[in-house]
Amino acid sequence: MLLNRASSGERWRIRPDGPDKVTGGLAYLTDMSVDHMLYGLVLRSEHPHARIKSIHTDRAKQLKGVHAVLTYLDVPGLNAFGIAHPDQPVLCEERVRYVGDALAAIAADSLAVAQLAAGLIEIEYEVLEVVDDPERALLPDSQQLHPKGNALHRTAFCRGDVEAGFKQCIHIIEDIYYTPRQMHTYMETEGGLFVPGEDGRLTVYSPTQHGFMDRMQLARILAVPQAGIRIVSSPIGGSFGGKDELNVQPYGALLAIHTGKPIKMHNSRWESVRAGLKRHPMKIAMKTGTDAAGRLLAHQVSILSDTGPYSTLGAEVLNFATEHVIGPYRYLHLDVNGVSVFTNNGMSGEFRGFGGNQAVFALEGQMDRLAEKLGMDPWTFRKLNMRAVDDLGPFDQPIVMTHGADHVWAAVAGCPLWQERNRLETTMDEKAEPWIKTGIGAAFTMHGAGLGVGIPDPAGGRLKLAEDGKIEAVFGYEEFGQGLLAALEQMLIEQFDFASEDIRMIIGDTDIVPDSGSTTASRATAMMWKSLQRLKKPFSDQLLQRAAASVDRPVEQLRLGKGGIKGADGDELLLTYKELAAAAGTPIICETSFSFPTSSTSRVGAHFMYTYSAVVVKVEVNTLTGRAKVLQQYHAVAAGPVVNPQGYLGQIEGGSSMALGFALLEESVMDKGHYIARNLDTYLVPTIEDQRGLIEVEAIEHLPEEDDYGPRGVGEVGSVTVAPAIAAAIRQACGKWVTKLPVEPSLLQEMPFFLRKG
Amino acid sequence: MSNKAVEEGVPYSLHCFINEGEESIKTAPSTRLLTILRDELKLTGTKRSCDIGRCGACMVLIDGKAVNSCLAMAYQCSGKHITSIEGVALQGIDYIQQAFLEEGGFQCGYCTPGMIVSVKALLDDNSEPTDDEIAEALSGNICRCTGYGGIWRAVKQAVERKRQLLAMEQKEELI
């Protein structure tokens, strides 16, 4: 189904959080304030790498209006955080390892006073050599950033004998692909409000993708029981993975506890840039070979990932990249190695696509180069080597069987934009300026959902008939713009036949919601859907049984409907939900908890469920300026049933725009550990001018009849295949292969014909 | 006010009109309008993001023109009529906001108030904008979520509604 407003009919709905968003009425957590609050500020390192000889805070503390200046000495519990492995200091003691490293936290009457105080803190550093090249960082003579050395994590996967495989190859392509340090650029920078309660509890209003993970980490830092902390974590002005790890929370929490007063924090953009996560820059070397007919025989990959100073999810991102450089293709011989390296560059971490974007850019680049070498159509070449329906996954692990790969492949093969490609090769647009060149390219992916084998991945939720007659849907997931509330509301309406007025959705509050796992890895919609499937019968049964007693009719003659209980064969309202709630009896609550389904393999990180997706793009290259412009896009996505058409379309369009930035514009350039671009005047993300072309999204909903896993996630796939498709289109347009992102305009510039010598 | 007074932050009383109400605010002359709106008046619909006039999240109308409120200082607002997103919705959700709702022209919504203010400034001035004019008017508003597809659809729908509204007004005048 080509997804748009017309084809969606009544399923195209206004989001429940929409009216408050378009009127400015919605209070984001960084919009909150209370009387007598103080302003929190973090003093960060002047150097990317230095030993701390001394920190003196006396002068800052004496400044009028300053309430607290905290250093590592004031951290009562574990002075470190990190989702997977806590090795990032809350406040540095002996050493700083990047320019975002925190040394002191200040609370003052105003932000201006806090900034003055920051200037009065005296720190004596011994500057150390900056380790900014991940390759050099691995050499034995490099400065070691952590006790176990500079390699955070290594991966390997082998099948067959790759050297022997290459000996049999007729065609071999070898290339090295580079991808940039991309910035999330969520429009709402990190911040929040931290309120100590009279009962000794701390309430944290600060965006995160996993409130319970924050609560656990903060309890560890503050040395208090988890029950002593309440995390309120939605709504969020964008995250894309960037707010999953703790950011301002440790400082706001410490300052609130120390001063006994509410603390407001809201990072400036520069603060956000220097301290925030970025997409892991990767260098991916690939050697891939085929036989004479074009069948893949051998594939050898080496991934080098710059993880920056601390772990966060660097190892997990590398695992994901390792899986996705293998991807949906069949090889007899395979040898993949990866290493994630500590450096003094900025923090790398979780970012939409989770290492898949880098991997797929390289892998699909290889496929296009091989096809060209063979003189084959690139899509035909992919089909020849693509996984079959019942093939194992990239790590030879059992995966959920679908026809997704076939369907996506066929959708692209048949779409008008791909067919136009073949015409482009033979016809030239005579109206176009001679320096404008056009090309069409495509790329494919299978993208894993969920956290994978070996990582706790809980899911679940709760339905309740509240006292006021509202049906409460309670989940531990977060709304950061992706449309989770809209998806949840739509599922409740369509699966239970409730009206939107009957429903109250509650998310993002650790005091109320069950731990449903992290809102990440394209998992939330799938897990809410599964939860509702599991809750549907028990919850409906209880409601109907209670109703049956009230209206004195057999259960079989009743059904759930808009506003209340109705007769099974009519639309007459017999009992409102409010009346039902008032009927005496035990409260009606159903809860479910389970885990994201995983593959029966021991390979950590291997996935079980995948979304299949491909994109075709038409690109115009101006060979005078070297700028490439995306004119048109066609996305085919096989992710099972469309839960919310508007949200689905929005996620693919939005992911695609982010990938366009990754391909053509964005890079957080660093010089010896320092960021060059500090704000959005020099770090450029796509604007409306960059996104003027038509984007079509074909949603392939088909799943095998016995498949009960339901909808797959679409939060990430829209961002994964755009860059390699652009690279392929550039090749067709002007004959140049792109290996480094973002595409450097000088690579595409040509001497204009009128300047060439006759 | 002299530059010297501005630099020294001499106590200053700003008189202006915000969302149709008359305001008198004691502040420094160099205080940013963004700070006045968000921190002093608690009008948090105007969003803070880049603080340098690049992203448009804090866009407001000053005498009908779209201005980044992070770049407008208190003394520059003296006597002016300022409309923030809260002012756009004074009489309920307006046709531009409705178009954004129906077409999915937002996701996280953080850029949305500024985006809508920019569209309002455009359509108040030019009810039949070309695509180039739309792109130019919104090029100062960054949205990281939607990919701009929904925003294009919303603006197109708003243009159509504006056309209908104008036609209805003309009809009423004729009657």
CA A541 to chain centre: 37
A17 part of contact set with chain B, CB < 8 Å: yes
pLDDT (tens digit per residue) in A406-437: 999 999 999 999 999 988 766 666 677 889 99
Average pLDDT over residues A214-224: 98
pLDDT confidence of B1, banded at 50, 70, 90? very low
Nearest to A130 by CA among A667, A671, A669, A668: A671
pLDDT confidence of B175, banded at 50, 70, 90? confident
Average pLDDT over residues A86-113: 98
pLDDT confidence of B8, banded at 50, 70, 90? low
A685: closest CA of chain B, how far (Å)? 8
Q: Where are the domains of chain B?
A: 13-88, 95-174
- Which of A36-40, A161-165, A641-645, B2-6 shows the lowest mean pLDDT across its residues? B2-6
Query: Which residue do the tokens 């390979």 mark?
Result: A603
Q: For position A427, what pLDDT does the model report? A: 62
B114 to chain A: which residues are within 8 Å by CB?
Answer: none
> Strand A333-342 vs strand A296-308: parallel, antiparallel, or unpaired?
parallel
Cβ pair A309, A275 in contact under 8 A: no
Do A30 and B109 count as a contact with CB atoms less than 8 A apart? no
ipTM over cut 0.85: yes
Cβ pair A618, A729 in contact under 8 A: yes
Domain B95-174, CATH class in plain words: mainly alpha
Label each residue of A549-616 as H, E or C. Answer: HHHCCCHHHEEEECCEEEECCCCCEEEEHHHHHHCCCCCCEEEEEEECCCCCCCCCCCCCEEEEEEEE
Nearest to A526 by CA among A589, A468, A446, A611: A611
Cβ pair A310, A280 in contact under 8 A: no
Cβ pair A49, A128 in contact under 8 A: yes
**Quick one: tokens of B139?**
């090029």
A470: closest CA of chain B, how far (Å)? 25
Residue A371 and residue A359: Cα distance in Å, rounded? 19
Provide the residue type at B171 as one letter. Answer: K
CB-CB neighbours of A1 under 10 Å: 12
Q: Residue A355 — left, alpha, or beta (φ > 0 → left; ψ -120 to 50 → alpha)?
A: left
Average pLDDT over residues A192-205: 96
Beta bridge partners of A274: none
A125 contacts: CB under 8 Å, gap ≥ 6: A46, A47, A50, A51, A52, A53, A96
Q: Which of B104, B110, B141 sits opposite A649 (nearest CB)?
A: B104
Q: For position A585, what pLDDT does the model report? A: 81
Q: Helix, strand, coil: what percent of chain A each, to 5?
A: 30, 25, 40
Strands (E), A390-432: none
Mapping DSSP to helix (H, G, I), strand (E, B) and coil, where does residue A534 land? helix
pLDDT (tens digit per residue) in A313-341: 999 999 999 999 999 999 999 999 999 99
Average pLDDT over residues A93-117: 97
Q: For position B6, what pLDDT does the model report? A: 47
A608 contacts: CB under 8 Å, gap ≥ 6: A393, A397, A398, A399, A400, A450, A452, A453, A597, A598, A599
**Quick one: tokens of A447?**
């993208």
A189 to chain B: which residues are within 8 Å by CB?
Answer: 48-49
B38 to chain A: which residues are within 8 Å by CB?
Answer: 31
Q: Which of residues 459-488 of A touch B (CB under 8 A)?
A: 480-483
Q: Which CATH superfamily is domain B13-88 in?
A: Beta-grasp domain (3.10.20.30)
Cβ pair A462, A492 in contact under 8 A: no
Do B106 and A22 count as a contact with CB atoms less than 8 A apart? yes
Hey, of B90, B144, B155, which one would you mutate to test binding to chain A, going by the most A CBs within 10 A of its CB? B144
- Which of A369-373, A454-458, A621-625, B7-11 shows the lowest mean pLDDT across its residues? B7-11
DSSP per residue, A209-245: S-HHHHHHHHHHHHTS-GGGEEEE----S--TTTTSS
Residue A601 and residue A408: Cα distance in Å, rounded? 27
Average pLDDT over residues A737-748: 98
Cβ pair A752, A691 in contact under 8 A: no
B173: closest CA of chain A, how far (Å)? 31
Hey, of A34, A182, A187, A193, which one would you mutate to test binding to chain B, going by the most B CBs within 10 A of its CB? A187
Average pLDDT, chain A: 96
A425 contacts: CB under 8 Å, gap ≥ 6: A732
What share of chain A has pLDDT > 70, as a percent?
99
Hey, of A688, A695, A714, which one would you mutate to test binding to chain B, going by the most B CBs within 10 A of its CB? A688
Provide the residue type at A750 as one letter. Answer: E
Q: For position B9, what pLDDT does the model report? A: 53
A5 to chain B: which residues are within 8 Å by CB?
Answer: 102-103, 153
Q: Does residue A654 carry a pLDDT above 50?
A: yes
Nearest to A684 by CA among A742, A617, A724, A622: A742
On the question of a cis peptide bond just before residue A394, with omega within 30 degrees of 0, the verdict is: no
Beta bridge partners of A56: A122
B48 to chain A: which residues are within 8 Å by CB?
Answer: 30, 189, 266
DSSP per residue, A724-740: HHHHHHHHHHHS----B
A278: closest CA of chain B, how far (Å)? 15
Q: For position A294, what pLDDT does the model report? A: 98
Q: For position B5, what pLDDT does the model report? A: 47
A686 part of contact set with chain B, CB < 8 Å: yes
Residue A172 and residue A522: Cα distance in Å, rounded? 35
Mapping DSSP to helix (H, G, I), strand (E, B) and coil, where does residue A299 land? strand
Q: Which of A185, A650, A656 sits opposite B107 (nearest CB)?
A: A650
Do A187 and B104 count as a contact with CB atoms less than 8 A apart? no
B174: closest CA of chain A, how far (Å)? 34
Q: Which of A235, A658, A680 sits opposite B55 (nearest CB)?
A: A680
A266 part of contact set with chain B, CB < 8 Å: yes
CATH topology identical between B13-88 and B95-174: no
Residue A85 and residue A231: Cα distance in Å, rounded? 21
A368: closest CA of chain B, how far (Å)? 27
Q: Which of B86, B136, B146 sits opposite A650 (nearest CB)?
A: B146
Nearest to A418 by CA among A637, A638, A656, A616: A616
Average pLDDT over residues A266-278: 98
B104 to chain A: which residues are within 8 Å by CB?
Answer: 15, 646-647, 649-650
Q: Which of A22, A186, A688 sits opposite B116 (nearest CB)?
A: A22
B85 to chain A: which residues are within 8 Å by CB?
Answer: 23-24
CB-CB neighbours of A739 under 10 Å: 18
B151: closest CA of chain A, how far (Å)? 8
Residue B84 and residue B20: Cα distance in Å, rounded? 10
Residue B59 and residue A234: Cα distance in Å, rounded? 24
A556: closest CA of chain B, how far (Å)? 39
Q: Tell me how far CA of residue A464 lies from CA of A512, A536, A558, B13, in angstroms.
A: 12, 12, 19, 53
Nearest to A428 by CA among A690, A693, A692, A734: A734
Mapping DSSP to helix (H, G, I), strand (E, B) and coil, where does residue A94 land? coil
Q: For position A183, what pLDDT does the model report? A: 98
Provide the residue type at A312 as one letter. Answer: T
**Quick one: tokens of A108?**
């003052």
Sheet of A102-108, strands arranged across: A66-70, A102-108, A38-44, A263-266, A191-196, A202-205, A229-232
Could you say which DSSP state residue A199 is in? Answer: T
**Quick one: tokens of A229?**
């902390």
Average pLDDT over residues A193-211: 96
Calculate the CA dihedral of residues A202, A516, A604, A325 and round it to 10 degrees: -100
